[in-house]
Amino acid sequence: MTNHSLVGAVIAGLLAGEVRAEMARQKRTAGEMAGALGITPHTAGRRLNGATPFNVVELGNVAHWLGMTPDVLVQRAEERFVRADRPAAS
């Protein structure tokens, strides 16, 4: 895996994690997300586990479905990345 591919996979995983976290807060299911996005439950599962990244249109649609803008999800993912990159406090 190239460095570029690795970064892409990390970003996909972080965004997927933020979508899952917000869905959990709102008590929404993957099946509901699949219906809202017009994708199969299998495809929804691959997006949510980070195996296949959300494309820009899907990210916008899922953010709208969750009642927010895509930049909120991206900002949360960035914050999670920064927290994970910091050394643990002693």
Distance CA 85, CA 49 (A): 21
Return the pLDDT at 72.
96
Return the pLDDT at 2.
66
Return the pLDDT at 75.
93
- Ranges under pLDDT 50 in the chain: none
Name the token pair of 88.
């643990």
**In a domain? residue 90:** no
Give residue 41's domain range. 3-85
CATH number of the domain enclosing 27: 1.10.260.40
pTM of the shown model? 0.85
Residue pair 30/44 in contact (Cβ under 8 Å)? The answer is yes
Return the pLDDT at 10.
83
* Structural domain count of the chain: 1
